[in-house]
């Protein structure tokens, strides 16, 4: 251990002790800064060793999403640090509390072209809530507490603390007196203005067609029970964004499922557009009203009054002028429900409309999910996952179509079920590492992860991590041999696609086996469900490489009509 005196600990030791104080029992790391990694291991903080920093950052992200606790990722200065820019940007956009502890060059070497020095402060400025360098050994606990506080108070987000290598080896002069645990999400809860809550209650009570839109902020606030109460007590219909998926039981009579950029052909919510367009009061909860969530700001009705609950007041009014309820969703909803409890009547007409939409969807999807076609249809795989899903199963998907396959075709079984997708930045390669982070946060829950072959190509190396660490996730690779979303978006926009969209064939099951994992290749529809059952029963990770249809695409509204026309024209039909 890097102690220079028996009496007082080194800065690295204080870092480890402070992490422990904040309840951190695992760090995502590759042994750098070494002094911190060693000090952590000395006091029983587990080092979960990633192969690449990109993946390490995404693991920390998945861990934070599942644990409601800030996650810690470590990295070296220079090239390693640059690889954290992408996962921290995802965490920033998706409001995830990740604390990155990054080594910096020795203080006297700053600005002398030291090995692997870079402008780290400049580099992380745009993708973090807060970035600092701790130059004073006696202030390390202050800086760490600031880092956790920044990550977890208000709107959660990523932070970076730069730790010069020489500072880490120095001895602290004074004992640390701090005792607070500052890593819980949310760290502080505050309720919106009671007068405005009354105003919101009146708007909802007077509305003819109120509608609730729940975003990812509901999960961050752990307000799923309150959103579910909007249905059960106040009889309000609830639709969610992709990030908000799982905050209500999607089989509830007033659940509209995910309604965003996914209302094309074969969408379960396709027939619910009327309910959305008819809404005269829309209650937005914990959503940044982004492009995909709102279908390019065209989905929500123009004439409606908006009420927006958000912990970040700057998100309210960004795209929809709204009655401002700045506060924690859980507390604010509890107060709103108390105002309205017993005052609203059941809405049998909306329930009927939702039931009818489900029925017509089930009729149109039936031939697809019962299809035996090879290559396989992803909708069929989702129907098989539905058969094995339990309420505690955590579903994780990579960006691209995988996100939409799980968002559209799996149904949350109770309020609070988690569907984890990289919707902050929607980058490829997040799926597997986020699944690893989620599994580490909830080891007893089965984790089912779905990724495309293009996205998975970013993180093959983490298969070795799965084997080495004995973490069990069930990974399905949708092996369609193409960058399908890219290909189809180019077809829609340009009427053709470039040569970059097609891969040579890859046997991902063999890649998994080469790393010592179970790898299964599926090319017949009947074989996926048994493989899935076997994988879930195993305490080891399994990769199921499924040969899927390169022409299949989820119900993206923007593609509706156009993509089929382009394909038909190409085939000369
Ligand atoms: C890191 C990154 N690079 C590029 C993109 C642009 N992109 C979005 S979807 C997509 C295709 C993904 O293909 P694949 O992972 O095989 O999934 P599929 O669409 O085939 O199901 C691409 C290239 C991205 N989102 N992230
Ligand atoms: Mg693909």
- For the residues 337-366, what does the mean pLDDT come to? 97
Residue 457 Cα to ligand 1 middle (Å): 10
> pLDDT tens across 36-46, in order?
999 999 999 99
Q: Which two tokens stand for residue 297?
A: 């700001």
Which residue matches tokens 């969703």? 329
Closest CA to ligand 1's atom 12: 483
Count of beta carbons in the 10 Å neighbourhood of residue 501? 19
Q: Check if 194-352 and 370-570 are the same fold.
A: yes
- For the residues 321-345, what does the mean pLDDT come to? 98
Ligand 1 neighbour 483 (Cβ under 6 A): yes
Residue 13 Cα to ligand 1 middle (Å): 42
Indicate yes or no: pTM above 0.95. yes
Closest CA to ligand 1's atom 7: 486
Closest CA to ligand 1's atom 8: 400
Q: Which ligand sits closest to the CA of 479?
A: 2
Ligand 1 neighbour 454 (Cβ under 6 A): yes
pLDDT computed for residue 572 by the predictor = 86
- CB-count burial class (<10 Å; 0-12, 13-18, 19+) for 561: exposed
Ligand 1 neighbour 455 (Cβ under 6 A): yes
Answer whether CATH 3.40.50.970 is correct for domain 370-570.
yes
pLDDT-derived band at 6 (thresholds 50, 70, 90) equals low
Residue 374 Cα to ligand 1 middle (Å): 23
Ligand 1 neighbour 427 (Cβ under 6 A): yes
Ligand 1 neighbour 452 (Cβ under 6 A): yes
Residue 399 Cα to ligand 1 middle (Å): 7
In words, the CATH class of domain 11-169 is alpha beta
Enumerate residues 6+ apart whose C-beta is below 8 A from 26. 45, 46, 47, 48, 63, 72, 440
> pLDDT tens across 138-151, in order?
999 999 999 999 99
Ligand 1 neighbour 462 (Cβ under 6 A): no
In the sheet with 98-104, reading across from the earlier edge strand, the strands are 46-49, 26-29, 71-75, 98-104, 159-164, 130-133
d(CA 231, CA 33): 49
Ligand 1 neighbour 428 (Cβ under 6 A): yes
pLDDT computed for residue 4 by the predictor = 47
pLDDT of 1 above 50:
no
Ligand 1 neighbour 460 (Cβ under 6 A): no
Q: Which ligand sits closest to the CA of 378?
A: 1
In testing the pocket of ligand 1, which one of 378, 398, 422, 428 has its CB within 8 Å of the most ligand atoms? 428
Closest CA to ligand 1's atom 6: 486
> pLDDT tens across 452-475, in order?
999 999 999 999 999 999 999 999
Gyration radius of the chain's alpha carbons: 24
How far is the first Cα of the chain from the last one, in angstroms, to the nearest whole number?
72
Nearest atom in ligand 1 to the alpha carbon of residue 485 is 19
pLDDT computed for residue 22 by the predictor = 98
- For the residues 238-247, what does the mean pLDDT come to? 98
Enumerate residues 6+ apart whose C-beta is below 8 A from 366. none
Ligand 1 neighbour 424 (Cβ under 6 A): no
Is residue 258 within 8 A of residue 239, CB to CB? The reply is yes
Long-range contacts of 27-31 (CB under 8 A, 24+ apart): 27/72, 27/73, 27/74, 28/56, 28/57, 28/59, 28/60, 28/63, 28/71, 28/72, 28/73, 28/74, 28/437, 29/56, 29/73, 29/74, 29/75, 30/56, 30/74, 30/75, 30/76, 30/80
Superfamily assignment of 194-352 in CATH?
Answer: TPP-binding domain (3.40.50.1220)
- For the residues 209-217, what does the mean pLDDT come to? 98
pLDDT-derived band at 430 (thresholds 50, 70, 90) equals very high
Nearest atom in ligand 1 to the alpha carbon of residue 86 is 1
pLDDT of 550 above 90:
yes
pLDDT of 523 above 80:
yes
Cα–Cα separations (whole angstroms), residue 250 to 195, 238, 347: 32, 9, 17
pLDDT computed for residue 174 by the predictor = 82
Ligand 1 neighbour 489 (Cβ under 6 A): no
Residue 480 Cα to ligand 1 middle (Å): 12
> pLDDT tens across 21-40, in order?
999 999 999 999 999 999 99
pLDDT-derived band at 2 (thresholds 50, 70, 90) equals very low
- For the residues 549-565, what does the mean pLDDT come to? 97
Q: How far is CA 124 from the centre of its chain?
A: 21
Mean pLDDT, the chain, whole residue set: 97
Ligand 1 neighbour 404 (Cβ under 6 A): no
CA-closest candidate to residue 435, choices 409, 471, 404: 471
> Across-strand partners of 249?
none
In testing the pocket of ligand 1, which one of 57, 58, 485, 498 has its CB within 8 Å of the most ligand atoms? 485
Q: What angle do CA 319, 320, 323 make, to 5 degrees?
A: 135
Enumerate residues 6+ apart whose C-beta is below 8 A from 329. 217, 218, 220, 221, 223, 226, 227, 285, 286, 309, 310, 311
| Of 94-108, 167-181, 273-287, 428-442, minimum mean pLDDT range | 167-181
Nearest atom in ligand 1 to the alpha carbon of residue 378 is 21
pLDDT of 3 above 50:
no
Closest CA to ligand 1's atom 9: 400
> Across-strand partners of 397?
450
> pLDDT tens across 390-423, in order?
999 999 999 999 999 999 999 999 999 999 999 9
- For the residues 197-204, what does the mean pLDDT come to? 98
d(CA 249, CA 234): 15
Ligand 1 neighbour 486 (Cβ under 6 A): yes
Taking every pair of Cα atoms in the chain, the longest distance, rounded to a whole number of angstroms, is 82
Closest CA to ligand 1's atom 17: 452
Nearest atom in ligand 1 to the alpha carbon of residue 451 is 15
Q: Which two tokens stand for residue 439?
A: 């599994």
Residue ranges of the domains in the chain?
11-169, 194-352, 370-570
In testing the pocket of ligand 1, which one of 479, 486, 549, 553 has its CB within 8 Å of the most ligand atoms? 486
In testing the pocket of ligand 1, which one of 454, 458, 477, 508 has its CB within 8 Å of the most ligand atoms? 454
- For the residues 504-513, what does the mean pLDDT come to? 98
Where are the strands (E) in 319-446, listed by range? 322-326, 394-397, 419-420
pLDDT computed for residue 263 by the predictor = 97
Q: What angle do CA 166, 29, 153 make, to 5 degrees?
A: 85
């Amino acid at each position: 251990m890097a102690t220079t005196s028996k009496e007082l600990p080194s800065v690295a030791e204080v870092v480890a002790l402070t992490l422990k104080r904040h309840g951190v029992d695992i760090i995502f790391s590759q042994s750098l800064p070494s002094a911190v990694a060693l000090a952590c291991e000395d006091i029983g903080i587990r080092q979960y060793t990633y192969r690449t920093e990109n993946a390490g950052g995404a693991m920390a992200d998945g861990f934070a999403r599942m644990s409601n606790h800030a996650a810690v990722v470590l990295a070296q200065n220079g090239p390693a640090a640059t690889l954290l820019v992408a996962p921290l940007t995802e965490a920033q956009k998706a409001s995830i509390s990740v604390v990155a502890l990054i080594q910096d060059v020795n203080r006297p070497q700053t600005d002398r072209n030291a090995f692997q020095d870079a402008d780290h402060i400049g580099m992380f400025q745009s993708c973090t809530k807060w970035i600092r360098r701790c130059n004073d050994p006696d202030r390390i606990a202050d800086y760490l507490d600031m880092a956790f506080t920044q990550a977890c108070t208000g709107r959660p987000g990523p932070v970076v603390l730069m730790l010069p290598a020489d500072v880490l080896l120095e001895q602290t002069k004074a004992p640390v007196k701090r005792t607070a645990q500052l890593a819980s999400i949310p760290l502080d809860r505050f309720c919106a203005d009671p007068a405005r809550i009354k105003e919101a209650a009146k708007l909802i009570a007077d509305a003819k067609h109120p509608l609730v839109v729940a975003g990812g902020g509901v999960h961050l606030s752990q307000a799923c029970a309150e959103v579910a109460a909007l249905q059960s007590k106040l009889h309000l219909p609830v639709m969610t964004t992709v990030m908000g998926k799982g905050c209500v039981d999607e089989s509830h009579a007033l659940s509209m499922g995910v309604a965003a950029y996914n209302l094309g052909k074969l969408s379960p919510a396709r027939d619910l557009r009327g309910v959305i367009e008819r809404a005269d009061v829309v209650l937005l909860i914990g959503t940044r009203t982004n492009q995909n969530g709102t279908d390019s700001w065209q989905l929500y009705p123009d004439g409606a009054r908006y009420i927006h609950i958000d912990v970040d007041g700057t998100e309210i009014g960004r795209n929809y002028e709204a009655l401002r309820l700045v506060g924690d969703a859980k507390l604010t909803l509890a107060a709103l429900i108390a105002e309205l409890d017993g005052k609203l009547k059941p809405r049998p007409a909306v329930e009927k409309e939702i039931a009818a939409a489900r029925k017509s969807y089930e009729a149109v999807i039936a031939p697809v999910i019962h299809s035996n076609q090879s290559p396989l249809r992803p909708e069929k795989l989702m129907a098989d996952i539905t058969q094995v899903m339990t309420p505690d199963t955590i579903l994780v998907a990579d960006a691209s179509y995988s996100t939409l396959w799980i968002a559209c075709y799996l149904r949350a079984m109770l309020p609070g079920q988690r569907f984890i997708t990289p919707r902050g930045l929607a980058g490829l390669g997040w799926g597997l590492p986020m699944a690893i982070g989620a599994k580490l946060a909830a080891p007893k829950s089965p984790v089912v992860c779905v990724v495309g072959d293009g996205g998975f190509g970013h993180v093959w190396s983490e298969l070795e991590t799965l084997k080495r660490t004995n973490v069990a996730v069930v990974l399905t690779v949708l092996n369609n041999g193409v960058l399908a979303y890219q290909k189809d978006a180019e077809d829609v926009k340009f009427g053709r696609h470039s040569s970059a969209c097609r891969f040579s064939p890859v046997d991902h099951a063999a890649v998994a086996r080469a790393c010592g994992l179970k790898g299964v290749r599926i090319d017949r529809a009947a074989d996926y469900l048994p493989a899935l059952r076997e994988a879930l029963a195993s305490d080891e990770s399994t990769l199921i490489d499924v040969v899927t249809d390169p022409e299949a695409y989820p119900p993206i509204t923007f593609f509706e009509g156009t993509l089929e026309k382009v394909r038909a024209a190409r085939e000369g039909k």
